[in-house]
Chain A
């Protein structure tokens, strides 16, 4: 079954450093998403991406965050200057269509630890 692949599985970074989290969505999917989950809390939406531009973003997704699809396969989330509170699991997801009668496929996540 097709999978969404995320790398690395775990990243430790120093506060103030830039990090890039990488995702390879399912190849024929058109919609891409990033979510995060702080330990013990709910899964939270960050951003959705379609046709090479952001289609929706949450209030969490401030100027420190950016997303890119640098080539035909990768989808990245960059955090420019990490803070301690950015420590969380980050999940990438993709969907074939963005319609409400389609499901998403999530990756296994990247655990980001900011020290």
Chain B
């Protein structure tokens, strides 16, 4: 499986944008880039995914580099509720029902 690399931790201030980076230099052409987050004492929560184009939804935006070797999850205005561990995960297109392989993720701290 292609590997992802994320910073261990990041800090942000409330109501400011946050850019969470992820490197995936060995990504294959058919891997989807998924982001999940895990709030304290909760299960992982789907945030967003993309393949090649940038994506927006009500939670976040996903910016994917042209060579697809990196991506950035953007929270436009961080709130205290966004404090969580954020995971960048690659999912192969070919395999149905494939597992999610979680790494260590990035612990995001949001300061009031």
Please count how many residues in chain A sit with their CB below 8 Å of the partner chain's CB atoms: 28
Q: A98-B96, A100-B32 are in contact. Are A107 and B103 (CB under 8 A)?
A: no
B45: A residues at CB distance < 8 A: 106
Chain A residues within CB distance 8 Å of chain B: 4, 31, 33, 35, 42-45, 48, 50, 55-56, 58, 91, 93, 95, 97-101, 103-109
Select from chain B the residue with minimum beta-carbon distance to A6. B43
Give the interface size bracket for B toward A. 20 to 34
B100: A residues at CB distance < 8 A: 35, 43, 45, 104
Query: In the complex, which of the residues B44, B93, B94, B95 contacts A106, with contact meaning CB atoms closer than 8 Å?
Result: B44
User: A43–B99 contact, CB under 8 A?
Assistant: no
Chain B residues within CB distance 8 Å of chain A: 30-32, 34, 36, 38, 42-46, 49, 51, 87, 91-104
User: B92–A42 contact, CB under 8 A?
Assistant: no
Q: Nearest chain A CB to B1's CB is how many angstroms away?
A: 11
B32: A residues at CB distance < 8 A: 100-101
User: B99–A33 contact, CB under 8 A?
Assistant: yes
Query: In the complex, which of the residues A4, A42, A56 contacts B99, with contact meaning CB atoms closer than 8 Å?
Result: A56
User: A48–B99 contact, CB under 8 A?
Assistant: yes
Q: Nearest chain A CB to B12's CB is how many angstroms away?
A: 23
A93: B residues at CB distance < 8 A: 43-44
Q: Nearest chain B CB to A39's CB is how many angstroms away?
A: 11
User: B42–A109 contact, CB under 8 A?
Assistant: yes
A44: B residues at CB distance < 8 A: 102
User: A101–B49 contact, CB under 8 A?
Assistant: yes
B46: A residues at CB distance < 8 A: 103-106
